[in-house]
Structure formats: structure tokens, C-alpha cells
Amino acid sequence: MLILHAYSPSNSGDGLLVDLAIDLVRRVSPNATYLVVASDAAGFDDPRYLQWTSPLPLPRALRRVAMALTGVLGPTRGIRRAAAEADLIVAVGGAYLRGGGAVESFKSWGAHHGQVRLAARHGAKSVYLPQSIGPYGASYGRRTRELLSRMRRVYVRDDRTASDLSELPNIDRVPDMAILEWARNDRQPLDGELGRPVFVARNLGEPRRYYELLAEVRDSGAFDWAVQATGSSNNDAPVTARYGGPDAPLLSTVLATRSPRIVVSTRLHGSLSSLIAGYPTIHLSYERKGYSAFADLGIPDFAISARDATVEQIDALMQRIIDDPEAYWAAIDAKRTEISAAERRIEADAAAVLAAGSR
């Protein structure tokens, strides 16, 4: 089997989505072997991870240039062979298929467009796990939609993507992979009195008053801070150090303590990782994916605009959780059956591809 569109383990949200794609593959075929195509394969330190690159033998310092060339030259012969020989091709979930502006389009082209083309070439055995796709300019959008239409299935995780791609016959709207993971494992909320809340920041484009909020959070003295992502282009450590100090731990370290706290996260997968670990969370959303995720979870009130939020709003939401934690968790638990049904559809699709290949 082949897994496409992995990024880097330095961003724990992206790393989680890679892990969940691998878990899916193992569930539908426990004895299967797999390879993973990644933008930063060396970061995973695993021979099963293949670097997404062009056939030209460029040095690692020119890794991004080599990836961009795949848009013209295609990938290496080894990756093309892996795709041809795979019984199933699965694309990691996420929000990497972008194209709204020149910079975003170039990044998507270099790191991901060639992988979409590769999957489309073997479309009958290609399943894209829950995505947020677009927006796109006219020509890039037409080409991307045409390629996506060749896949067996493209699962999407937000309402706008579902609407934008509604003309494609193979689109299915489901929750984010991390939400499916929460429902599948039936993890329960942590017991005990809630400690100091934890704040997870990130840099934002078009921030409006977001950085004023970070200053207010800092000045309140009421929050601890944690870092979700440390990747080269998704590094939350500098902005966290600026407002929360240089010693903020990784969020994964905080969650591993199993000490109940409310996590207020600007990173969507900071919030979803917290839920998986049993921590109540509030998401400061900066994209459509966050609002759709919290609607899928049955708690839409707990996703608010990162660009317009105030400490008073956050305090009010935290107080709702403190006053009635049972209501918070009951609302999420009420969605479990619906979420689990979505995961079964994905597993059935993957299993059908394997069954067709074995005949």
C-alpha cells in the first residue's frame, strides 16, 4: 500500500494525521506492508518513508526546488513504481490542497499537485482521507477538480469544500480523521478538578486583533502556554516565546501528564488531540475547517474566531465548561454514533479497493 501527502513529524498535527492514515491501512489489512511519500521523509527516520522529489539528483538543500519540479517532471521512478504496485493508495487527511493566492498555489503545486496527478493515474484504487480543499483560481481549480474526479473517493471535512466540489460524483462529507479517532477509541474525559488552562498560539495572516488577544492572555497571568507545531514553515515556538515565555512545553507533553485542564488552541489539531486525550477544549478558529470540526462534534459554540476573540469570551466559555462539564461532554458523546458511521464508510471503501485487487 502507498500513503501520499505526508508532511513532517515536526508538526504534531500533521504527524497525527499520518499516524491515523497508517492506522486505517492496518485496520483494513492487518498484514499489509506500506510506504509513505513525504515532503520531509528524513524527519521520520524510517526507511518506509520516501522523499517526494523529482528524478533530478539535486542536493537536499534544494529539496523544495526538487519537489516543485515534480509538477513538470513527475516523481522518481521508485515512487512511480510504488504507486503502480500498490493494492491501495491512501492520501493523508488535512488541508494541503490549496490555491487561493500565488504563494499558496506555488506551495501546493510543489509539494502536492504531482501527488494528486499520481493518485489520479491510479484513480480506481485511490482514496483521499478527509480534506479541506481550495479555494482555487480558475485554471488551477479546473485541473485539480478534474484530477480529483478520477479518484475512487474524496472525503472532505468541511461544508465549504463539500459545496465547492458538489459537482463531483465521488465526494463524501465526513469529520476530520482526529474526530473519527476520538469516536473509535471511546476515550472518556479525565476525572478531577480542572487545573490552569493551557493556551496554544500560532502565527496568523490577516490577524486583525489576534495579537492583541495574545497580549491580553499573557497579561492576565491566568494561562500556561504550550507549543503544538515546530516545523520549519509551521513553527509555533517563536510566537509562543514572545507572549508566553521561552520555556513553554510541547502540547503533547502537557497532555501526557493526564492532569485535567482546559486547552484553548489556535491549532485545530491541538484542540482535537486534547479531546482524544480527554481534555475539554476551546478552538480559536482561523479557517473553515475549525468551525466544521466543532459542528461535527456537536459543540459549535466552542469554536470562535481567532481574529476577533477576547479574553472575556474565552473566560465565559471556560466557565461554561467548569459549571457544567457533563453538558459539554454529553453534547460530544451524542455525535459518536454518527461519527462512527462515517468512519465505517471510509473503511468499507478501502476494503473494497483491496477486494477488487485480489480478484
Tell me phi and psi for residue 49, to 5 degrees: -95, 125
Shared domain for 230 and 142, answered yes or no, is no
Query: Amino acid letter at 301?
Result: D
Residue 64 confidence (pLDDT): 85
Find, among 165, 166, 94, 167, the residue nearest to 136 by Cα: 165
Is 341 a domain residue?
no
- According to DSSP, residue 113 is labeled I
Shared domain for 227 and 140, answered yes or no, is no
Q: What is the mean pLDDT of residues 184-195?
A: 89
* CB contact set of 260 (below 8 Å; sequence gap of 6+): 189, 190, 191, 192, 193, 194, 195, 278, 279
Q: Vertex 13, ends 322 and 241: CA angle to 5°?
A: 75
Q: What is the pLDDT of residues 283-314, one digit of tens each?
A: 999 999 999 999 999 999 999 999 999 999 99
The Cα–Cα gap between 160 and 144 comes to: 16
Tell me phi and psi for residue 107, to 5 degrees: -60, -45
Shared domain for 221 and 113, answered yes or no, is no
The Cα–Cα gap between 281 and 182 comes to: 13
Domain termination site, one of 131, 156, 175: 175
Residue 355 confidence (pLDDT): 94
Shared domain for 114 and 146, answered yes or no, is yes
93 Cα distance to chain centroid: 6
Shared domain for 111 and 63, answered yes or no, is yes
pTM over 0.85: yes
Residue 110 confidence (pLDDT): 83
Asked if 155 and 118 touch (Cβ cutoff 8 Å), the reply is no
Is 349 a domain residue?
no
Shared domain for 125 and 241, answered yes or no, is no
The Cα–Cα gap between 2 and 79 comes to: 9
Is 180 a domain residue?
no
The boundaries of the domain holding residue 47 are 2-175
Is 123 a domain residue?
yes
Shared domain for 43 and 80, answered yes or no, is yes
Domain termination site, one of 175, 201, 222: 175
359 pLDDT higher than 70: no
Shared domain for 84 and 104, answered yes or no, is yes
Is 222 a domain residue?
yes
Residue 356 confidence (pLDDT): 92
Shared domain for 316 and 206, answered yes or no, is yes
Shared domain for 63 and 12, answered yes or no, is yes
Q: How many domains does the chain have?
A: 2
CATH code, domain with 299: 3.40.50
Cell numbers given for 326: 457533563
Is 285 a domain residue?
yes
Rounded mean pLDDT of the chain?
94
Is 237 a domain residue?
yes
Domain termination site, one of 175, 200, 217: 175
Query: Amino acid letter at 106?
Result: F
pLDDT tier for residue 232 given thresholds of 50, 70 and 90: low
Shared domain for 193 and 86, answered yes or no, is no
Cell numbers given for 299: 459543540
pLDDT tier for residue 25 given thresholds of 50, 70 and 90: very high
Is 57 a domain residue?
yes
Shared domain for 95 and 197, answered yes or no, is no
More reliable by pLDDT, 135 or 303: 303
Q: What is the pLDDT of residues 257-287, one digit of tens each?
A: 999 999 999 999 999 999 999 999 999 999 9
146 pLDDT higher than 80: yes
What is the Cα gyration radius of the chain? 20
* CB contact set of 294 (below 8 Å; sequence gap of 6+): 283, 285, 300, 302, 303
